[in-house]
């Protein structure tokens, strides 16, 4: 069976608070893991400030290079939430109340609570389609191949399931991790040989120190389970020859 075409994506993390270090970026990991599971490979991530021109230029740069672009942050009710208006300018769309989004939020809030600030969350490109939000009501949206999600990690995560029928993925990207009690220098040469003999498998090695143990995680990634299994066997072979302790395989 032939593999499907590789589907590639980029992620844009929008927010001064991420650049300043006040807020940790958890969304890249959440999005990447989920996208890999449906066969979409994340190949670029950018972190940019809440500046309209920067948002417009970055989105325009990436949307022609990637099958999908995902933005996170900047679609809330405050003055610095400017992603929706910026995306309107990217697509030369009117920025106004989106009828469906307004209706969803109006029903979500108790009478009298749907104030001007919250109404702002219903403003977006009028040509946008919605990404429903089961956590806090305020929907995300997408225009063509650009998908705009909130910056709050738990809310973003809850909204991903709503995109399963929208995104077209390739073959799911499988992974296996071998955790070893060793040093990178000890496995560098044999691991390079394995990589050279397994061009279709992406092999990464990552040193770690946890629970008093120094070690290396070898991560294998590929769309083909048989190729991962073959690669795994070759790695286990040289591990056995070198008498390296395996901490865990997952």
Q: Do both 152 and 197 map to the same domain?
A: no
At residue 3, the pLDDT reads: 47
Q: What is the pLDDT of residue 2?
A: 40
71 three-class SS: strand
Q: Find the CATH number of the domain harbouring 144.
A: 3.40.980.10
Residues 128 and 159 in one domain: yes
156 with 191, same domain: the answer is: no
Q: Is residue 235 part of a domain?
A: yes
pLDDT in tens, the chain (250 residues): 344 578 999 999 999 999 999 999 999 999 999 999 999 999 999 999 999 999 999 999 999 999 999 999 999 998 889 999 999 999 999 999 999 999 999 999 998 899 998 999 999 999 999 999 999 889 999 999 999 999 999 999 999 999 988 998 888 888 999 999 999 999 999 999 999 999 999 999 999 887 777 899 999 999 899 999 999 999 999 999 999 999 888 8
Give the contacts of 85 (CB within 8 A, at least 6 positions apart): 52, 95, 123
Q: What CATH number does the domain containing 237 carry?
A: 3.30.70.2860
Q: Report the SS3 class of residue 96.
A: strand
The answer to whether residue 2 is domain-embedded is: no
User: Where does a domain end: 163, 189, 209?
Assistant: 163
Q: Is residue 17 part of a domain?
A: yes
Residue 66 and residue 154 share a domain: yes
The pLDDT score that the predictor gives to residue 250 is: 84
Same domain? 61 vs 38? yes
Q: Give dist(CA 25, CA 8) in Å, integer.
A: 21
DSSP letter for each residue of 119-144: HGGGEEETT-EEE--TTTS--EEEET
Would you say residue 168 lies in a domain? no
Q: Is position 104 within any domain?
A: yes
Q: Are 52 and 132 within one domain?
A: yes
Query: What Å distances lie between residue 48 and 15, 56, 59, 73, 75, CA to CA?
Result: 6, 11, 11, 10, 15
- Both tokens of residue 8? 């590639």
Q: What is the pLDDT of residue 4?
A: 56
CA angle 51, 53, 55 (to 5 degrees): 70
Record the pTM: 0.81
Q: Does 21 share its domain with 84?
A: yes
Domain edge (last residue) among 140, 163, 186? 163
Q: How many domains, in total, are found in the chain?
A: 2
Relative to beta strand 7-14, strand 68-72 is parallel
Q: Which residue has the tokens 């449906």?
A: 38
Give the pLDDT score at 172: 84
CA 229 to chain centre: 26
Q: Which of 140, 172, 157 is nearest to 6 (CA)?
A: 172
| 133 and 69 co-located in one domain | yes
Domain presence at residue 144: yes
Q: Report if residue 1 sits inside a domain.
A: no
Q: Are residues 159 and 178 in the same domain?
A: no
Neighbours of 64 (CB within 10 A): 9
196 and 240 in a single domain? The answer is: yes
Across the chain, how many H-helices and E-strands are there? 9, 12
* Residues 181 and 155 reside in one and the same domain: no
State which of 117, 142, 163 marks the end of a domain. Answer: 163
Nearest C-alpha neighbor of 7 from the set 167, 125, 146, 132:
167
Residue 169, in any domain of the structure: no
- In terms of residue numbers, what domain contains 55? 7-163
Same domain, 113 and 40: yes
């Amino acid at each position: 069976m032939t593999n499907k075409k590789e589907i590639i994506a980029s992620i844009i993390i929008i927010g001064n608070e991420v650049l300043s270090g006040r807020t940790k970026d958890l969304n890249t990991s959440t999005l990447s893991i989920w996208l890999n599971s449906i066969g979409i490979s994340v190949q670029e991530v950018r972190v940019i400030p809440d500046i309209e021109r920067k948002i417009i230029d970055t989105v325009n740069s990436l949307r022609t290079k990637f099958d999908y672009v995902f933005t996170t942050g900047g679609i809330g009710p405050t003055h610095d939430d400017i992603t929706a208006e910026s995306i309107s300018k990217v697509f030369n769309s009117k920025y106004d109340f989106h009828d469906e989004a307004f209706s969803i939020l109006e029903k979500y809030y108790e009478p009298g609570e749907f104030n001007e600030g919250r109404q702002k969350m219903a403003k977006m490109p009028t040509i946008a389609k919605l990404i429903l939000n089961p956590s806090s009501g305020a929907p995300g949206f997408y225009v063509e191949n650009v998908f705009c999600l909130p910056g709050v990690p738990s809310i973003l995560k809850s909204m991903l399931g709503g995109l399963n029928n929208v995104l077209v993925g390739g073959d799911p990207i499988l992974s296996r991790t071998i955790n070893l009690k060793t040093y990178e220098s000890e496995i560098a040469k044999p691991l390079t040989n394995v990589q050279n003999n397994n061009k279709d498998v992406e092999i990464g090695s990552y040193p770690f120190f946890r629970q008093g143990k120094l070690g290396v995680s070898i991560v294998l990634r590929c769309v083909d389970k048989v190729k991962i299994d073959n690669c795994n066997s070759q790695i286990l072979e040289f591990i056995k020859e070198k008498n390296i302790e395996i901490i865990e395989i997952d």
